[in-house]
Amino acid sequence: MQQTEIIRYALLAGLLITAYLLILAWNQDYGSAARPADAGAATADPLVDLDVPETGVPDPEAAEASRQPADDEVPDVVAGQVPEIAAPSPDAAPLSQEGLIRVRTDTLNVWLDRRGDIVKVTLPGHPVSLDTPDVPLTLLDRTPSFLYVAQSGLAGPDGVDARPEGRPNYRTDRDLFEMGPGDDELVVPLVFEGDDGVRVEKRFIFTRGDYKVRLEYHLTNPLTRPLRTAMYAQIRRSGGQPPDFSPPGMGMRPYVGPAFTLEDTRYKKVSFSDLESGWEARVRGGWLAMLQHYFLSAWIPDSDAEHLYRGRQRPDGTYLVEFIGPIVEVPASGSQVIAATFYAGPKIQSRLAEISDNLNLTVDYGFLWWISVPLFRVLDFLHGIAGNWGVAIILLTLLVKLVLYPLSAAAYRSMANMRRMAPEMKRLQERYSDDRQKLSQEMMSLYKKEKINPLGGCLPLLLQMPVFLALYWVLYESVELRHAPFMLWIDDLSAIDPYFVLPLLMGATMFIQMQLNPPPPDPMQAKIMKLMPVMFTVLFLFFPAGLVLYWLTNNVLSIAQQWYVMRQIEQKAGATKGAK
């Protein structure tokens, strides 16, 4: 076997192995399904027995001895070992669907219980499927078989959630809050007044056109001593994919689970399995999120002070991630506001970047993010011009081809010269059929004489692979392309072509490309190359239509470019031969 054939085989094998390892890595990172909550542990109301987070500094004297803060310094809730708050009293009024407070805005439908927890969120602008446009996607929910809720409260020595009687029930003047046509903001106030006169108003502030909810605790202290409390916020969820999740092509599953930002790691995924043994970190500012395909929920504290972030698995099989803020002191006969932000909605990169640093990294493009991010920005810009994501993909393909034109043109010239010299190479193979070493030497001399790179034909494919993989993650992770139509039967570029027309056309264009390439000298290699269009067609049957559209457009442009280069080479060779 000639040296060039060995190199070609090695390149082909390396390409196939790389693709296989990428699929395995994706499934390992994004397809690990966490163990779902034990169905037997679910109850009609799974929130009644919830445990609330640590209370803060357990003992002022112990904290003073361990830390010795200055007189005007407020001790931090993460300064020492802190106990757990007891579960709510069994005598507390049980929660029910009828007792929920409903909030309607143009972007969110939210249900709150009387403790001020977010127990259900639906997204009216994002239907479950194109077949049911009037059925909004449910992001948070609580059912006997699946739990996904967001909770918050006030812990610490004087926190109302840390009282012996359990977490408080808030009152409000009505059970339905709707954003009017002319309203830019909707405020949902929940009020609790303790027997000691301490008043807590828990305000949820919704903004038109946004998925962000601002949560504010307005504390009024009528006592003659200061109150010391700390805000906590948590997300509690069953493991595994959402109930209505249908896996995309090739059975690949997106990552589902918690993520955090840390001081030394901008984006940290902590899987459900990691929470089984417990996890925690102390971060200045920061955020926590619960991710699923295209959507997320997140808590972002309002303060840049140090917060304790942690996660664990509860006895009922559900998972809990939370942050606990620093102790805040409400002066005697004074008031104080403690706030945080909650986000529940799609992974819109530009909006997430505005809400908090690094929150946009939850749109996870994998290890090729450095290509995917600029690709999406260009794609988004082109969509703004064309108004159609499919047309934007075609324009993006054209731009990529223009950028890579000098390199690919050189490769096509090499391939055209290989095709032109095919008869001469065949004569050499017949002449030195019994001397493989001599044949290899003569062919290398011919390549050198004609300035031919025998590996040049691999260059276009190798150049396209990083862009192809990066665009795959763009189409797979960017919610902007979810349910995005192109034309005719393609009504969702993020899903597979329902009639497989695009993959078949892509296979046909790949076959035409193979006919333009010089035939491999080895018969076995020639058979393998003939099978490549069939193999790729079968593979692309399960890829998103947008990705197949990219590859189809790329093939059409490559055929045109290769034909043009071949015509130039043939005309130049004919002119040279005529001159002689």
Q: What is the pLDDT of residues 431-466, one digit of tens each?
A: 777 777 777 777 777 777 766 666 555 666 676 678
By CB atoms closer than 10 A (0-12, 13-18, 19+), residue 194 is middle
Q: Give strand pairing partners of 233.
A: 152, 323
The pLDDT value given to residue 160: 93
The pLDDT value given to residue 149: 96
Helices 389-403 and 369-386 pack at an angle, to 10 degrees, of 120
Strands 328-330 and 227-237: antiparallel
Range(s) of the chain covered by CATH 2.70.98.90: 31-72+100-364
Q: Give strand pairing partners of 215.
A: 204, 340
Q: Computed over its alpha carbons, how large is the radius of gyration of the chain?
A: 31
The pLDDT value given to residue 361: 93
Q: Closest Cα to residue 416, out of 510, 514, 517?
A: 517
Q: How many Cβ atoms from other residues are within 10 Å of residue 88's Cβ?
A: 21
Q: Any idea which residue has 């034309």 for tokens?
A: 487
The pLDDT value given to residue 533: 83
Q: Would you say 532 and 376 are in contact if contact means Cβ atoms under 8 Å apart?
A: no
The C-alpha atoms of residue 449 and residue 420 are separated, in whole angstroms, by 14
Q: Would you say 306 and 292 are in contact if contact means Cβ atoms under 8 Å apart?
A: no
DSSP codes of every residue in 212-238: EEEEEEEEEE-SSS-EEEEEEEEEEE-
CA 545 to chain centre: 19
Kindly give the parts of the chain with pLDDT less than 70: 1-98, 246-252, 410-422, 450-461, 463-464, 517-526, 569-580
The C-alpha atoms of residue 390 and residue 498 are separated, in whole angstroms, by 16
The C-alpha atoms of residue 158 and residue 336 are separated, in whole angstroms, by 13
Written as one letter, the residue type at 497 is D
The C-alpha atoms of residue 477 and residue 464 are separated, in whole angstroms, by 20
Q: Hey, what are 103's tokens?
A: 């909030």
DSSP state of 167: S
CATH topology of domain 31-72+100-364: Beta-galactosidase; Chain A, domain 5 (2.70.98)
CA 95 to chain centre: 33
Three-class SS state of 74: coil
Q: Would you say 181 and 159 are in contact if contact means Cβ atoms under 8 Å apart?
A: no
Q: Would you say 523 and 429 are in contact if contact means Cβ atoms under 8 Å apart?
A: no
The pLDDT value given to residue 457: 55
The pLDDT value given to residue 345: 96
The pLDDT value given to residue 252: 60
The pLDDT value given to residue 525: 64
DSSP state of 48: T
The C-alpha atoms of residue 285 and residue 301 are separated, in whole angstroms, by 7
Q: Give strand pairing partners of 322.
A: 234, 310
